[in-house]
A and B are shown apart, each in its own frame.
Chain A
Amino acid sequence: MDISRRTFIKASVAGGAGLSALGFDLSPAYAAVRQLKIRNAKEYRTVCPYCAVGCGTIAYVHGSGGLNTTNTVIHVEGDPDNPINGGTLCPKGASQMQLAISPRLQHQPKFRDARSDEWRDVTWDFAMDWFARKFKESRDATFTERDDEGRVVNRCDGIAWVGSATVANEDAYLITKTMRAMGLGYIDHQARI
Chain B
Amino acid sequence: MASLAATFGRGAMTNHWKDIKNADVILVMGANPAENHPCGFKWALEARDNRGAKLVTIDPRFTRTSAVADKHLQIRPGSDIAMLGGFIKHILDNDLQHDDYVRAHTNASFIVTEDFGFADGLFAGFDEAAQSYDKTAWEYERGPDGFVRRDPTLEHPRSVFQLLKHHYDRYTPEVVANITGCSEEGFLGMADIICSTGRADRAGTIMYAVGWTMHTVGCQIIRTAAIMQLLLGNIGRPGGGINALRGHANVQGATDHAIVAGILPGYLKVPTPEQQSFEAHLTDSTPRPLVSDTVNYWGNYSKFYVSLMKAWFGDHATPENDFAYDHLAKPGGDATWLTIWNEAHQGRLEGFVALGFNPLLAGPDVPRLFEAMAKLKWKVVIDPFMLDSAEFWKAPGQNPAEIDTEVLYLPSSHWIERDGSFTNSGRWAQWKEKAVDPPIGVRSDTWILSELFWRVKELYQEEGGAYNDPIQHLTWDYLNPREPTLVELAKEINGYDRTSGQLLSSFGQLKDDGTTASGNWIYSGSYTEAGNQMARRGTADPTGLGMHHDWAWSWPLNRRVLYNRASADADGKPWDPQRAGIAWNGREWIGDVPDYGPTTPPDAAGAFIMNEEGVARLFSTHLADGPFSEHYEPVESPTTNPLHEQVPINPVIRWYDGVRDTLAMSAGSEFPYACTVYRVVEREHFVTSNVPYLVEAMPDFFVEVPEGLAEEKGIANASRVRVWSKRGSVTGTAIVTKRIQPLRVNGKVVWTVGIPVHWGFVGLTTGSMANQLTPFVGDANTRCPEFKSFLVNLEQA
Contact = CB atoms under 8 A, between A and B. Distances in A.
A43 to B, nearest CB: 9
Given A113-B406, A163-B354, A92 B425 contact: no
A167 B254 contact: yes
B63 to A, nearest CB: 15
A82 B42 CA distance: 14
A51 B691 contact: no
B694 interface: yes
Given A95-B694, A188-B259, A158 B350 contact: yes
A71 B437 CA distance: 7
Interface in B416-468: 416, 418-426, 428-430, 432-437, 439-443, 445-446, 448-453, 455-456, 459-460, 463, 465-467
B405 A139 contact: no
Interface string B313-352: 0000000000000111111100111011001100011111
Please tell me the size bucket of the interface on B. Answer: 35 or more
A172 B259 contact: yes
A116 B394 CA distance: 9
B257 A176 contact: yes
Contact of B411 (A55, A90, A107, A168): A107
B355 A154 contact: no
A45 B437 CA distance: 15
Contacts of A100: 414, 416, 435
B407 interface: yes
Interface string B614-640: 000000000000000000000000000
A54 B16 CA distance: 11
Given A115-B402, A151-B276, A52 B439 contact: no
B18 to A, nearest CB: 6
A71 B351 CA distance: 38
A98 interface: yes
Given A177-B519, A185-B261, A169 B429 contact: yes
Interface in A78-131: 78, 81-85, 88-93, 95, 98-100, 102, 104-117, 119, 122, 124, 127-131
Contact of A180 (B264, B353, B423): B264
Contacts of A168: 250, 253, 415, 418-422, 432, 486
A125 to B, nearest CB: 10
Contacts of A135: 351, 452, 456
A191 interface: yes
Contacts, number: 486
B254 A189 contact: yes
B247 A175 contact: no
A8 interface: no
B456 A90 contact: no
A109 to B, nearest CB: 5
Interface stretch (A12-20, A26-34, A140-148): A140-148
A165 B250 contact: yes
A2 interface: no
A193 B788 CA distance: 11
Q: Which residue, A45, A53, A115, A143, has most C-beta atoms of chain B within 10 A?
A: A53
Contacts of A154: 326-330, 467, 470
Given A155-B331, A168-B419, A139 B466 contact: yes
A74 to B, nearest CB: 10
Interface string B469-481: 0110010000000
Q: Which residue, A48, A93, A134, A165, has most C-beta atoms of chain B within 10 A?
A: A165
A158 B349 contact: yes
A95 B684 CA distance: 12
A151 B273 contact: yes
A164 B254 contact: yes
A113 B467 CA distance: 30
B692 interface: yes
Given A116-B400, A166-B249, A171-B486, A53 B259 contact: no
Q: Which residue, A56, A142, A151, A163, has most C-beta atoms of chain B within 10 A?
A: A163
Nearest to A112: B407
B260 interface: yes
Nearest to B407: A112
Interface string B350-389: 1111111101001110000000000001101011111000
The 6 closest A-B pairs by CB, nearest first: A168-B420, A54-B424, A164-B356, A163-B357, A185-B331, A132-B455
19 contacts: A51-B36, A52-B248, A81-B539, A92-B688, A95-B694, A109-B409, A109-B411, A114-B405, A115-B404, A135-B351, A151-B273, A153-B331, A155-B331, A168-B422, A169-B254, A171-B446, A174-B484, A181-B470, A188-B335
